[in-house]
Structure 1
Amino acid sequence: VFFPGWEADVNGGTAGLCSPVERDLFDCHLGCFWPAQVPDQLNHAPDWTSSCASAQKDWRKIDLIFP
């Protein structure tokens, strides 16, 4: 099944994913999404590492960092 967006929550981000696992005990039936398991050969962004070197050089330009 090809389902783009599996790595995002209902708001398009990652904050609503079931993490920590304790959140699953009550909240997953209300709108908490679990990230799907995806085979290694399925890659929606094959060149996602191409800009990693620039991030290492430009990290001081980042205004806000979220853990």
Structure 2
Amino acid sequence: MKHLFAVNQKARMIETLVIQDSPKAHAMVAPDPPFGCTTMFAPGWEVDSSGATHGLCTPIERDLYDCYHTCYWPAQVPDALTNSPNWAKSCGAPVNDWASIDLVFP
């Protein structure tokens, strides 16, 4: 039972292409995973409504090391939850001194 009908030339052309392509088999293979900075989806939670960071409930400045290390500017930073409390012990001094970074808001 067909409920939709092609009403113009372009729709009829697409309909004939779909009918022609329907018996073909397609392999169900997962695409190659993306690498680098393309794997992150940050929908804009990094800034508040004025385009700044000082109006956020949980400041993004807490995770500056991860911002440049994994190409991700984090927005979902938990307040006190961590699965690896000693993750920065083997890192350099800038990672351990993150609390001394001064932030200037215009």
TM-score category (smaller protein): under 0.3
Give the TM-score taking structure 2 as reference length.
0.19
More contact order relative to length (CA 8 Å, sep ≥ 6): 1
Q: Which has the higher helix share?
A: 2
Between Structure 1 and Structure 2, whose CA radius of gyration is higher?
Answer: 2
Give the TM-score taking structure 1 as reference length.
0.25
